[in-house]
């Protein structure tokens, strides 16, 4: 596979990103991957590679590029619960800077860059998001329903809030298929929040599947952190690939 770090020019600067394209004849359907809070790092690149191995071109931008190129923090302590929490506290102010307007502007730049790459198929892409990336991937498909035809969101937080611009309020803009995997006992996405999200999706007539992974902590897909759950990670791959096979089948 062709793997490289690339620069994506946005309205607000330059985002570093990881781009992977499979070997062999193209064009390949495109998949955007939106990172969790801990950003572009070996674990996330491994996950991008696994998606690409199924025949997809994959682009994973550094969503927090305004603060610098990845990695932005020392991530050596991610497997220790206390250190992981301390790292997250450092990152949280950067997460809060990613407003719906910011994500809409950046997502356009990512989509435009991706569409201009050799070997990437024309037309809509799919998007995958983890943790904060799940929330922002939802915002992206709401902003560009004609350019993103499927969303897979895993252990996303703050999807449902009281804010007027809360992401769940705009799901009626979605025209493609979406999948949500929620962590069990997640303070950032409670059972009540899940119910509100599903109610909004039902009311809007969106094609979706939403489920809670039992005993899975927030961040269960990330094998390099203290929140990793093997069963949840395995289940997430099964559901992700099933969605991609339906929405963007490879030859």
Catalytic site residues? 131, 186, 218
φ, ψ at 249 (rounded to 5°): -65, 140
- Whether the CB-CB separation of 41 and 13 falls below 8 Å is answered with no
**CA 100 vs CA 60, 105, 150, 203, 230: distances in Å:** 19, 9, 19, 22, 32
User: Going edge to edge, which strands form the sheet with 2-10?
Assistant: 2-10, 13-21, 57-61, 30-34, 125-130, 148-154, 177-183, 207-213
Consecutive H or E run containing 49: helix 42-52
Displacement of CA 210 from its chain's centroid (Å): 16
- Cβ-contact 61, 125 below 8 angstroms: no
């Amino acid at each position: 596979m062709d793997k490289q770090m690339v620069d994506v020019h946005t309205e607000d600067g330059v985002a570093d990103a990881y781009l992977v394209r499979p070997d062999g004849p193209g064009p390949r359907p495109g998949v955007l991957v939106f990172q969790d809070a801990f950003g572009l790092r070996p674990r996330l690149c491994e996950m991008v590679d696994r998606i690409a191995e199924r025949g997809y071109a994959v682009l994973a931008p550094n969503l927090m590029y305004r603060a610098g190129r990845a990695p932005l923090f020392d991530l050596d302590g991610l497997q220790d619960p206390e250190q992981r929490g301390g790292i997250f506290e450092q990152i949280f102010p950067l997460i809060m800077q990613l407003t719906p307007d910011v994500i809409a502007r950046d997502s356009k730049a990512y989509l435009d860059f991706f569409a201009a790459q050799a070997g990437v198929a024309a037309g809509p892409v799919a998007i995958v998001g983890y943790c904060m990336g799940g929330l922002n991937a939802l915002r992206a498909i709401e902003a560009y329903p004609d350019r993103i035809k499927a969303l897979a969101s895993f252990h996303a937080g703050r999807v449902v809030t009281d804010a007027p611009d809360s992401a769940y309020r705009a799901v009626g803009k979605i025209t493609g298929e979406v999948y949500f995997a929620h962590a069990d006992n997640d303070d950032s996405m409670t059972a009540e929040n899940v119910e509100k999200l599903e109610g909004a999706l039902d009311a809007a007539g969106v094609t979706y599947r939403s489920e809670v992974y039992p005993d899975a902590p927030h961040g269960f897909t990330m094998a390099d952190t203290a929140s990793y759950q093997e069963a949840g990670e395995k289940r997430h791959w099964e559901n992700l690939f099933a969605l991609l096979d339906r929405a963007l089948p490879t030859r």
